[in-house]
């Protein structure tokens, strides 16, 4: 059972799966995010936009799940982008090196435009 402080929601926007990450990204939420992305990937969706607009904080275990997702998407020759990342989480992504591999956008619309232009 998931905590009321952690939510994962997904939707399809064209050929892109949008994953909304809400709450505190720790091991429980990380597993849910990974499962959601894997499910979309297994059904043929190769573009993923992770929306962190409702993500309060990401801990080290949460970062490891995100790194696993980045690796899965890259291995599957997919495209991944982040959007609505808070300043503290953006700094964390920069320190951990994630920002070298994944582009972040201010808005979901910008992220979707980037992914739709990506082959």
Could you tell me the CATH number of the domain that includes residue 65? 3.30.750.24
What's the pLDDT score for residue 6? 60
Per-residue pLDDT tens for 51-82? 999 999 999 999 999 999 999 999 999 999 99
Which domain range does residue 74 map to?
7-117
**Separation CA 61–CA 16 (nearest Å):** 26
Structural domain includes residue 2: no
Structural domain includes residue 1: no
**Separation CA 20–CA 51 (nearest Å):** 5
What's the pLDDT score for residue 7? 83
Number of domains in the chain: 1
Structural domain includes residue 84: yes
Q: In whole numbers, what is the pLDDT of the chain averaged over residues?
A: 91
Give the total residue count for the chain.
119
Please list the rounded mean pLDDT of every run of 10 residues in the chain (119 residues). Answer: 64 94 93 93 92 94 95 93 96 94 96 84
Structural domain includes residue 27: yes
- pTM, rounded to two decimals: 0.91
């Amino acid at each position: 059972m998931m905590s009321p402080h952690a939510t994962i929601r997904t939707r399809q926007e064209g050929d892109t799966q949008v994953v909304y990450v809400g709450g505190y990204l720790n091991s429980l939420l990380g597993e849910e995010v990974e499962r959601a992305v894997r499910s979309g990937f297994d059904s043929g969706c190769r573009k993923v936009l992770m929306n962190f607009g409702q993500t309060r904080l990401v801990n080290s275990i949460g970062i490891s799940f995100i790194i696993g997702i980045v690796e899965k998407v890259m291995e599957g020759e997919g495209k991944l982008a982040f959007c609505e990342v808070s300043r503290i989480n953006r700094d964390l992504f920069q320190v951990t090196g994630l920002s070298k591999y994944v582009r972040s956008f201010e808005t979901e619309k910008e992220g979707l435009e980037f992914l739709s232009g990506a082959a």
